[in-house]
Chains A and B, each alone.
Chain A
Amino acid sequence: MSKEEVLGRKPVVILEKIRENLERLNEKMEVIIELQKHDRKGAMQPIQDTPLDVMTLLSMPDHLRKTAMTVCRSGRATAEEISQQTTRARAVESAYLNQLVLMGYLKKERKGRKAYFFAERENEAEI
């Protein structure tokens, strides 16, 4: 690797780190906003698992149903992947996904830099 490449890469790495931290900060803020909306101050734990069945999907507001159905179809996906399918902004999908996690319909799992959302692990593992 040339000297220029090493030097050229450093600012990119720093920018990546900043972006990563901003993303995490953004997600935390979205969770806090949702908690405030539901008046659940201090309780950072989501509601216990609630099945995401079709009757639940039917009773959801349209904007959340769209996100929840896309997760059901995908099995497991990041906010970015969901936003590509719904053609809504990633930040919007991230907020909706976190709201669904707080409502107990979805689970969230971090793998490295990426956060994955899914309805239930069995959907992908046992079929």
Chain B
Amino acid sequence: MGKIIAVHSYKGGTGKTLLSVNLAATFAKQGKKVCLFDLDFRAPSLFAILKIASAENWLNDYLNNTCDLSKVLIDISNRIPGKGKLFVGLANPATEAIRDMSAKDRKWEMRALGRLLHLRNALINEKGIDYIVFDTSPGLQYSSINAIVAADLVAVATTGDRSDVDGTSRMLKELYNLFEKKTGIVLNKVLDYNSKERQEELYNRIKNIYQVPLLGMVPCFCDILRAQGNFIFAQDKPDHPFSMLLNEMAKKIDANDIK
């Protein structure tokens, strides 16, 4: 059975989009059928990262019930080596669309949740999709909480920043736990990652602070900053240590080995 993964964080700039895109590409590279959705309607970015200049239909349109799901999905499988499939549903980056999405009422948000919940049946049960990955907005936004409710696993991107640690701890207690969601921490921008002792110390510290499984630790790679969003590491630099870490993370998720 397929899985829905929501990539979320308390603060912005923790690496949600980087993680979402590369995790989706890693699954596809491993031969899986994957759908990646941009649910960050306040600051859409997948269109830029994936260099898709324009889309006929956006995820906004599906949630607004003005088009079918099939018209939102863009097939970019040709960019991935192997037999896997990768589809994306983009958020509309137009200022008017961003304004429209931030002014929705509670009834609309309730219907949007219904449509996100419907993805399990439409994509996983009927189309044989193995993974759905939601890239979300940081913090307590309607679109992000909708994604969390619809997901099987929440991958929480966090850094060592004090405010991020504090906010992530609160979200674990007051958001993910209340919805009884399986959660895994991805500690990003880790400094001094090289020694085994340091890795073990970090692992134990994260377990103590958050009391949830650690999905992975990502060192602070200068290469990622230098890439300026121009590469999808999993696809363009398959031998890079970051791509290797993603392979491990994808394997853990696939084997349901999140401890």
Residues of A whose CB lies within 8 Å of any CB of B are: 51-58, 62, 65-66, 69, 72-73, 75, 119-120, 122-123, 126-127
Contacts and interface: CB of A to CB of B under 8 A. Distances in A.
A120 B109 contact: no
Contacts of B81: none
- Dominant SS at the B interface? helix
B65 A53 contact: no
A103 to B, nearest CB: 14
- Dominant SS at the A interface? helix
A125 to B, nearest CB: 10
Given A58-B175, A65-B178, A126-B65, A120 B146 contact: no
A51 to B, nearest CB: 4
Contact of B106 (A51, A66, A69, A75): A51
B111 interface: yes
B145 interface: yes
A58 B142 CA distance: 11
Interface string B99-110: 000000111011
A122 B142 contact: no
B145 A54 contact: yes
Given A53-B106, A53-B142, A72-B149, A58 B111 contact: no
Interface residues of B, number: 21
Contact of A53 (B109, B118, B175): B109
A36 to B, nearest CB: 28
A73 to B, nearest CB: 6
B69 to A, nearest CB: 8
A55 B106 contact: yes
B142 A72 contact: no
Interface string B130-161: 00000000000010011001000000000000
Given A58-B145, A69-B149, A127-B118, A51 B178 contact: no
B178 A54 contact: no
A73 B114 CA distance: 8
Contacts of A55: 106, 109, 142, 145
Given A54-B146, A72-B117, A119 B178 contact: no
B110 A52 contact: yes
Interface hub of B113, B118, B146 (most chain A Cβ within 10 A): B113
